[in-house]
Amino acid sequence: MNPFPHSHDNKRYYTWNHYLISTFGSKVFKVPLDAGFSCPHRNSHGIGGCTFCSTAGSGDVAGNRMDTLFQQYNEGFAMMAKKWPQAKGIAYFQAFTNTYAPLSQLRKIYDPFFDDHPTLAVAIATRADCLDEKIIEYLKDKSKIKPLFLEIGVQTIFNETAQRVNRGEQIEDIERTLRMVKQAGLNIVLHIINGLPGETADMMLDTARWVAKMSPFAIKIHMLHIIKDTVLADQFEKEPFTLLSKDDYVDIVVRQLEVLPPTTIIQRLTGDALKEDLIEPLWTIKKVSVLNDIDKAMVQKNTWQGKKYEG
């Protein structure tokens, strides 16, 4: 009997790959898209927003927004299919805040991907403050046509940290929105960031415990990246602050996995940054090494996702 039933390769957490293969019967990959959105507290010139966010709105590997969305998808799919010829694709609206527009505009963008496009599913990255009742109801209706994964940035539950990095959201407001989204039955994917300025390991673990209480469909855990041409990069140059070492990050992630529900899918345990844009921490470039160290640490501690879950 497999002691870790939510993995195809004996990882001690519920892998995204396992979910996709078990659900859709084949390898599945995301095709990142840029639909031309911005964010609610960037001005018309793109100034503002979260201090850590790149000029591409975290969509550095997304398609070219000067191309149509179908062009972006087709080119991205063709590139990924070279590696996985039999795989299926998910249209991933990644760059910036993908519900930051009137509902009429959202319909024009998303309806074709649900109604007339061969993509297997749709993933939409957004913020809680750009989801109201009408948008949630619209997404609920679309999710009846094909699977929808709604990715919502939280990053931290601590308002003082959110203010420090100019998130522009309070955790209490995020909670209220998440309750509405959960009531609509949508698949919620929460994003959190480890290593934000001023946060301790215990604070990061408290954020994971909060996520556990929300019991989302999935989670993405990311290490803070200091990227060129960001406000955070300027701040770091003037007043350097302590960043997590690789060992510290691995230890925190393992502890976070222990408190998460065993039914929450782990979509990501480390993030990607363009090598030429990354200032620090440089150890994050070796993504496979980080993931392997997480696996090794879990074996050494004889632990697994949900071991300390209190739900």
Query: 3-state SS of the chain: helix, strand, coil percent to 5?
Result: 40, 15, 45
With 60 as the cut, is the pLDDT of residue 112 above it? yes
Confidence of residue 3 (pLDDT cuts 50, 70, 90): low
Looking at residue 274, its pLDDT comes to 85
> What DSSP state is assigned to residue 15?
B
pTM as predicted? 0.94
With 70 as the cut, is the pLDDT of residue 46 above it? no
Tell me, what amino acid is at 12? R
Looking at residue 2, its pLDDT comes to 59
What is the C-alpha separation between 18 and 67, in angstroms, rounded? 33
How many whole angstroms from its chain centre is CA 255? Answer: 19
Confidence of residue 273 (pLDDT cuts 50, 70, 90): confident
What is the C-alpha separation between 67 and 290, in angstroms, rounded? 35
Residue 65 sits at φ, ψ, to 5 deg, of -65, -10
With 80 as the cut, is the pLDDT of residue 61 above it? no
Query: Structure tokens of 62?
Result: 């997304």
Protein fold of 16-301: TIM Barrel (3.20.20)
CB 220 within 8 A of CB 268: yes
Map out the domains of the chain as residue ranges: 16-301
Q: What SS3 state is found at 77?
A: helix
CA separation, residue 102 to residues 39, 91, 131, 170 (Å)? 13, 21, 11, 23
238, exposed or middle or buried, with CB in 10 Å at 0-12, 13-18, 19+? exposed
